[in-house]
Amino acid sequence: MMYQEALSAGDCIAQQLAQDAGRYTELGRSLRATNFHSVVTVARGSSDHASSYLAYLIMARMGRLVTSLPMSLVTLYKSPLVTRDTLAVSISQSGQSPDVVEPIQYFRAGGATTVALVNDDTSPLARAAEWTMPLHAGKEQSVAATKSFIASMVAGARLVAEWQDDAELRDGIAALPDSLRAASQVDWSAAIEVLAPARNIMVVGRGISFPVALEAALKFKETSALQAEAFSGAEIKHGPMALIEEGYPLLIFATRGPAQAGLVALAEEMRGRGARVLLAAPEDVASRDLLLPTAAIPDLDPIVAIQAFYMMAANLSKARGLDPDRPRHLSKVTRTN
């Protein structure tokens, strides 16, 4: 199911883009008319990684600082947060977890603008937010989120495109279904050869590619029982460097943009230290180990990058003798307070 659901991402995004255009336009107009002093995101797990991608887009394009809300401030500590003139965006596949719903209720009651990017538009989260934007990913059977994660990233990009009123970003988003279908055909079998016997791995990104590193590390743990940690390329030379030894695997996502040159240089340095580097980079990077597909514009590259990764991750799980559709100890909907 994980493989098939990941494979369907292009069609899911085509379905999403065919709907709610007027609603996104209206949301963008509302956001432009409001003077926000802060933005918070409210999410867990893969949805939090999609929130990190949204945060990069908002900070880079809109100039607003974005905070990932520690939900316990609301749900457990009952902290007196200032919510007025705040944009609160929650991302969720199920929209069921109380610690996602309660903060959105709290922020809305305090005068914030609240947005839910949620797959189940009948869920408690959908009812709690002022603006509910359905993901239209369809029912996701696999415990490991794939198409819903991609749909969350795309919905976040649509929000920013309309807020910024940016035609180039809109056009790039419109081309994503075909870009995702192409990305699902990229051959990452070389990664399976390296990682099938592995015990651990570092996953590295920087800037807008770091959310993809976070998501990849989670999927390694979730579907392959592979101890994985995500690091920014700017942080790996601090404490994490001490872990590098001969043959230690690193997966580096070097998407296009200002951070790419440093990540390519980091890959070469880590090879010199004995690491078994898997550098995922576009075709113009000669030292790449894995072909990283690209979108119409660099800001959308992480969306197609994770698509290529998901196809490999489903096959890696099987190569390690596991079932990606039945991760140990996990269920599809997680409810925390």
Q: Hey, which residues are catalytic here?
A: 332
The interaxial angle of helices 176-183 and 167-174, nearest 10 deg, is: 50
The full 3-state SS of the chain, as one line of letters, equals: CHHHHHHCHHHHHHHHHCCCHHHHHHHHHHHHCCCCCEEEEECCHHHHHHHHHHHHHHHHHHCCCEEECCCHHHHCCCCCCCCCCEEEEEEECCCCCHHHHHHHHHHHHCCCEEEEEECCCCCHHHHHCCEEEECCCCCCCCCCCCHHHHHHHHHHHHHHHHHHCCHHHHHHHHCHHHHHHHHCCCCCHHHHHHHCCCCEEEEEECHHHHHHHHHHHHHHHHHHCCEEEEEECCCCCCHHHHHCCCCCEEEEECCCCCCHHHHHHHHHHHHHCCCEEEEEECCCCCCCCEECCCCCCHHHHHHHHHHHHHHHHHHHHHHCCCCCCCCCCCCCCCCCC
Question: How many other C-beta atoms are found inside a 10 Å radius of the C-beta of residue 185?
Answer: 11
Question: What backbone phi and psi angles, to 5 degrees, belong to 33?
Answer: -85, -5
Give the integer Cα–Cα distance in Å for 78 and 250. Answer: 41
Report CA Rg, the chain.
Answer: 19
